[in-house]
Structure 1
Amino acid sequence: LKSSGAVLVAKLVTGSLAYDDIWFGGRTRNPWNIDEFSTGSSAGPAASTSA
């Protein structure tokens, strides 16, 4: 994407196999309460949308 001129504005993270609480790239934090975490297949997109 970068070589084609795309501008990346975000990096999203989701749990392993979109299931349970297994993270490899860091946990997705809740933007309204950073002590809480978002989980599931749409954790990254949901957290970024709510921010």
Structure 2
Amino acid sequence: MAELSRNVGKPKLDVLEELISAIRTSHGEIDTWIVAAEQATPASDGPETARGQ
């Protein structure tokens, strides 16, 4: 975690810590994390969409 905290910002670090905690807990917690992440982050079709192609 120390290396991660040096290489990513606080918001991403928080999300990664939540994911790691879910992985350590159960499949159900992972599913819950995925749903929350999808709701918090807009979906993208990939880099082409970001460039308007």
TM bucket, shorter chain:
under 0.3
Instruction: State TM-score, norm by structure 2.
Output: 0.26
Q: Which has the higher helix share?
A: 2
Q: Which has the larger radius of gyration?
A: 2
Instruction: State TM-score, norm by structure 1.
Output: 0.27
Q: Which has the higher strand share?
A: 1
